[in-house]
Amino acid sequence: MSHNHQRFHEHLRTLGAPARSRMLDHPFWTGLCDGSLPGAALVQFVLQDTSYLLPGYARALSRCASEVADDRHALLLMRCALATLESRDRLDEAFAASAPGMGLSLPSRRPPIAAATDAYCRLFAQSSARSVVAGLGSALPMIWFQLDLADSLLAQVRDGSRYLSWVRSYHPGPQYRYAVNAFLEMIDDLAQRGSAEEREVLTACFLTASQHEWRLADSALLAPGANGTSNARSV
């Protein structure tokens, strides 16, 4: 490849741009910004995220931390795994607190894992068991694209949207940007040190995971009750 391995993440950003744009433009997120998203879709998305996806992601990061050769990378991944579980708890609490104000009622039980969530969690587990580069390639879109998404939502959400408070709480805060940059530096370092085959594996896993990001939003829109009118206030 002709690209500089020290800036390998820029090569990946170019390759992942179509999937990233497709995610950002998804009707789930645009509906969240203008308030037209059916409440059942948001409930489905958040509960799938906090119940299954974030824990699965944290476990994949932990597995990569246990296998990566560089202690600096191990420390970063352990911190990211811990932060992911802490974020899960924060989002859970924030959603439960804000649900009544958004006209949403939460189910008494956690929903079963959806097919799209299960597929993404399986990718995390299988890739991290395969190799560090495969695991981190699969993990990269979630940490990277989510920052772009959270920034975009804050910039586009309407003041009158009933989901305004949730959009604000969904943003991970300015410190998250430092974690993303550190993760990208780690990816660049691994690409520089690794073989051509390892870079190909990292790239392939990254592109596969990128497709899963918008499939999660698709899945939420197919939740029971999510195909109702935008004025539905309970689930």
pLDDT tens-digit map of 115-142: 999 999 999 999 999 999 999 999 999 9
Per the domain annotation, does 17 fall within a domain? no
User: What's phi and psi for 62, nearest 5 deg?
Assistant: -65, -40
CA distance 141 to 22: 13
Instruction: Tell me the two tokens of residue 189.
Output: 């370092």
Per the domain annotation, does 142 fall within a domain? yes
Evaluate if residue 234 carries a pLDDT over 90. Answer: no
Per the domain annotation, does 7 fall within a domain? no
Per the domain annotation, does 27 fall within a domain? yes
**Amino acid sitting at position 109:** R
Evaluate if residue 220 carries a pLDDT over 60. Answer: yes
CA distance 115 to 15: 26
Per the domain annotation, does 227 fall within a domain? no
Opening angle at CA 185, ends 91 and 134, nearest 5: 75
User: How confident is residue 6, by pLDDT bands cut at 50, 70 and 90?
Assistant: low
Report the CATH number at residue 196.
1.20.910.10
Evaluate if residue 232 carries a pLDDT over 80. Answer: no
Opening angle at CA 217, ends 214 and 221, nearest 5: 140
Closest CA to 199 of 119, 115, 140, 126: 140
Per the domain annotation, does 5 fall within a domain? no
The domain tally of the chain equals 1
Per the domain annotation, does 235 fall within a domain? no
Per the domain annotation, does 55 fall within a domain? yes
| Domain, as residue range, for 105 | 23-221
CA distance 79 to 179: 9
How many beta carbons lie within 10 A of that of residue 97, not counting itself?
11
* pTM listed for this prediction: 0.91
